[in-house]
Amino acid sequence: MNILFIGFSAIIQNRIIPAIEDISSINYIDCASLSKSKDTFITFKARNFYNNYEIALSESDAEIVYISVRNHDHANLVKQALNYNKHVIVDKPGVTKIEDAEEIIRIANGKNKCISEALVFGYHPQLDLVRRIFKDNNENPSHISVHFSMPGFFDENFRYKKEFDGGAIFDLGPYAMSIGSEFFGEEPLSCLGTKHIRNGLEVETSFSILLQFPGGRTLMGYFGFETEYINSVTIFSHHMSINFERIFTIPRDFENEIKIRYKNILSIEKAEKADIFKEYLIDVIAGIRNNEFNRFKFRFLNNARLLTTLKNILN
């Protein structure tokens, strides 16, 4: 099986290529970029390089296309790739309009192809470890407090541009709207929130949310481009709280510390290291090979619905 990159972003270079180099079922990588040159495409699995997306899609025999471009181009390129009979992986946010998500699912169903949004933090074993700790102590999570924020970017970054579907909601909203279901196993019933736009910019640079889940469970979070780096979550139950850093974008060689406070006694467990992009890609490839990829399509559409809900509430 071969893969074609549409776009040659930092995430492709720093995380996806190292992951693919460790996956034996991926033989070759083709790449199409409008801004990078062929000499930047460095991997022992490199094959063809294109400077035109349409030509790449029509000429490459890759079964899977991985799209990693600016947000506003996702929907059109996903549709093109599906119409070229490719399975498709796309960076988060998969799309920024629910109408595009619904059309993409119709195309994918008609072509019997996989469409998956690369929202991968749930593939790290630290989440299974946290769930096991709650279960072993007969506790059920009831509240989540999560913060994911960073100092920001250069002013020319696409995340600050409205025409590129920039802003904190599209960039960080997929995390905000999906983490609750990882621990509660259900989607939110309601959402409240507020956003902030830094002076001189045209898109929101941070937002805060409060999500309500069935059974009185809640999630409270702050996400944005306005603070010192924080990437932290605390999960509470009646007798327990568990806190850990780097729930999102955790490095592949990082053994995380899970801090557990149970009946006011503190303990620490180590989470094994893992390459979440590798684990995600292996799962998608297995789904494609076994023709069992409806769950990826369901997540893609559901994530688009949740993101649309968040955008509408904060507008």
Q: Which fold, 3-119+278-297?
A: Rossmann fold (3.40.50)
pLDDT tens string 160-219: 999 999 999 999 999 999 999 999 999 999 999 999 999 889 999 999 999 999 999 999
Residue 189's pLDDT is: 95
How many other CB atoms sit within 10 Å of the CB of residue 113? 22
118-143 confidence digits (pLDDT tens): 999 999 999 999 999 999 999 999 99
Per-residue pLDDT at 156: 85
Cβ-contact 19, 37 below 8 angstroms: no
Question: Which residue matches tokens 């924080």?
Answer: 230
- Whether 26 and 89 have beta carbons less than 8 Å apart is answered as no
At 315 the pLDDT is: 86
Max Cα distance, the chain (Å): 62
What b/e readout covers 275-295, taking b as 16+ CB neighbours within 10 angstroms? Answer: bbbbbbbbbbbebbeeeebee
> Quick check: do 3-119+278-297 and 125-273 share a fold?
no
Strand partners, 256: 271
Least Cα distance to 92 among 309, 277, 251 occurs for 277
Whose tokens are 């019933």? That residue is: 189
263 within 8 A of 160, measured Cβ to Cβ: no
Q: What is the pLDDT of residue 154?
A: 86
Could you state, in chain order, the average pLDDT of each consecutive group of 10 residues for the chain (315 residues)? Answer: 97 97 97 95 97 98 98 98 98 97 98 98 97 97 98 89 95 96 95 93 96 97 97 98 96 96 97 97 98 97 96 93
| Residue of 286, 70, 41, 287 lying closest to 164 (CA atoms) | 70
Instruction: Give the list of residues 6+ apart from residue 32 with CB closer than 8 angstroms, or none.
Output: 4, 5, 6, 7, 8, 49, 50, 51, 52, 53, 55, 56, 57
Q: Which residue has the tokens 């930092």?
A: 10
Q: What is the pLDDT of residue 293?
A: 96
Q: What is the pTM of this model?
A: 0.96
State residue 155's pLDDT score: 81
What residue type is 153 in one-letter code? F
pLDDT of residue 216: 96
Domain ranges of the chain: 3-119+278-297, 125-273
Which CATH number does 125-273 carry?
3.30.360.10
Distance CA 51, CA 43 (A): 18
Q: In what order do the strands lie in the sheet with 115-118?
A: 46-50, 29-32, 3-6, 64-67, 87-91, 115-118
What DSSP element (H or E) covers 220? strand 217-224
pLDDT at position 200? 85
Nearest-CA neighbor of 49 among 67, 34, 30?
30
pLDDT for 313: 94
